[in-house]
Amino acid sequence: MGLLKIYKFFLHGVLKLAGISPKKIEIQPGTVVNFWVPTQITTKPAVVFLHGFAFDGILTWQFQALALAKHYSVYVPDFVFFGNSITDKSERSVEFQAECIAKGLKKLGVQKCTLVGFSYGGMVGFKMAEIYPELVHSMVVTCSTMALTESISKARLHRLGFNSWPDFLLPDSVQGVETLVQLASHSFPKFPNFIYKEILEGICKYRREKVELLKALVISDEEFTVPSYHQRIHVLWGKNDKIFEVENGQYLQQQIGEKASVEYIENSGHIVQLERPFKYNSCLNKILPSLSSS
C-alpha cells in the first residue's frame, strides 16, 4: 500500500471521529455520487465543498471539513468520475455535474446551503446557483471563473505554456504531475517521485472520461451571458495564483456586481486551501456567518 493510500486511510478515520462519513447516493439509475456527510442529523447551517480537477473532494477539502464540522453540517461530494462517483450516461457538461450534486443534496435532506467552490468546483457552483436558487443561499468562490469561455481558456493555456487542458491537468508522467503541483502552488516543497507516481495513478483513473469533461468545460464566448445571481458571493483568492491570477478575481467581482465581496490570501497559489489551510479557514470562519445570516 502506497503512502498516499495509507494517509487517506488515516484521514478517513479522523473524519469519521469528527462526525463525517461517506455515503453513496443514487441520483438516477446508473449514476451514483459519493458524499461525505454529517454522521448524525443536525440543524447546523449546511456548507457544501466543491472540489477542483486534480483530487477528489475530501483530499481537496480535508482541512476545511475537519475545521468546520463542529459548527456546520459539512457536505463534501465527489464529482462524477472523481473519487467514488460514477455514471453510465454520456453527459459531461458542468450542468450535469451541478444537477447531480443538487439532486444528491436534496436526497440527503439539504434544503438550503452555502457552496464553497474551488476552480472547477467554482464553475459547477455558479451553475448550481443559477439553476437551483432555492437551494444555493450563498457562495464562496476560490480561484475560479463563472464559465471557461474560449477566450479565457486560450489566455490561461498560453500563459501556462500548454496546448490543451488535458495536457496540463491530466499528465501522463511523474514529471507532468510535478509540473502540475508546482504551477498550482506558490511554494509547495518538492515531493519524492513516488508521491507524484501515486498522484498520477489517481489522475489516470477514468482518464478518458475526464478528457471528455475538460472538452465539455470550454464554451464559446457567444454561448455565455452573465447570469443575475440573487446570492451573496464572496470571492476568496490565492494572491499568487499562476492559473487564475488576481486580475481574474477582480473581474469576477465586477461581473457579479454589488452582491460580491473579495479577499486575497498572501503567499498562496491556486490550491490556497491546501497551501495555507489555517488562513483559509480563518477567512471562512469570518465570512460564513455573515453569508448564512444574510
Give the residues across from 50 on adjacent strands.
117
Residues with Cβ within 8 Å of residue 129, at least 6 apart in sequence: 115, 136, 139, 227, 229, 231, 233
Reported as a single tens digit per residue, the pLDDT across 93-112 is 999 999 999 999 999 999 99
Residue 56 near residue 82, CB atoms below 8 Å:
yes
Q: Residue 258 has which C-alpha cell? A: 454589488
Mean pLDDT of all residues in 21-30: 97
Reported as a single tens digit per residue, the pLDDT across 204-240 is 899 999 999 999 999 999 999 999 999 999 999 999 9
CA dihedral for 22, 231, 288, 266, sign (positive or negative):
positive
CA distances from 211 to 24, 53, 84, 148, 217 (A): 24, 11, 18, 15, 10
pTM above 0.95, yes or no: yes
Residues with Cβ within 8 Å of residue 272, at least 6 apart in sequence: 142, 143, 236, 237, 238, 241, 265, 280
Name residue, grid cell 501515486.
Answer: 198
Reported as a single tens digit per residue, the pLDDT across 161-191 is 999 999 999 999 999 999 999 999 998 888 9
